[in-house]
């Protein structure tokens, strides 16, 4: 299933610190800017466990799009909103897409 770059927010960690860390860990990309306020907030059922999860998403700018996938990243692909609707997505990505497409 397709998912966003990201991960768990460590207990002591600021969300912006987590965004910078996760982009570096998963794609070796430098974050150059993060919105001061969150851009999207979604909840969904975790696909692997019987729990609900919350996703906080911030508009983020990257130094470049020269992505070097890590072991956590199997594929990188840019798609249109219309293409994404027909993809096999994790439930959290599908929840985001519902908000994004209506925007």
Entry pTM: 0.78
Average pLDDT across the chain, whole number: 86
Task: Tell me how far apart the terminal alpha carbons of the chain are, to the nearest angstrom.
Answer: 24
What whole-number percentage of the chain has pLDDT above 70? Answer: 93
Rounded average pLDDT over 4-9? 74
| pLDDT per residue as tens digits for the range 67-85 | 887 887 777 778 888 888 8
d(CA 101, CA 51): 25
* SS3 labels along 38-55: CCEEEEEECCCCCCEEEE
* SS3 labels along 51-92: CEEEEEECCEEECCCCCCCCCCCCCCCCCCHHHHHCCCECHH
3-class DSSP assignment, residue 10: coil
Given a cut of 80, is residue 17 above it in pLDDT? Answer: yes
């Amino acid at each position: 299933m397709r998912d966003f770059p990201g991960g768990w927010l460590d207990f002591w960690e600021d969300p912006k610190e987590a965004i910078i860390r996760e982009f570096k860990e998963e794609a070796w990309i430098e974050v150059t800017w993060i919105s001061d306020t969150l851009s999207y907030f979604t909840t969904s059922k975790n696909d692997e466990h019987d729990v609900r999860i919350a996703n906080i998403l911030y508009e983020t700018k990257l130094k470049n799009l020269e992505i070097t996938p890590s072991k956590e990243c199997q594929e990188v692909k840019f798609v249109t909103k219309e293409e994404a609707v027909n993809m096999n997505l994790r439930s959290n990505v599908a929840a985001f897409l519902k908000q994004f497409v209506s925007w």
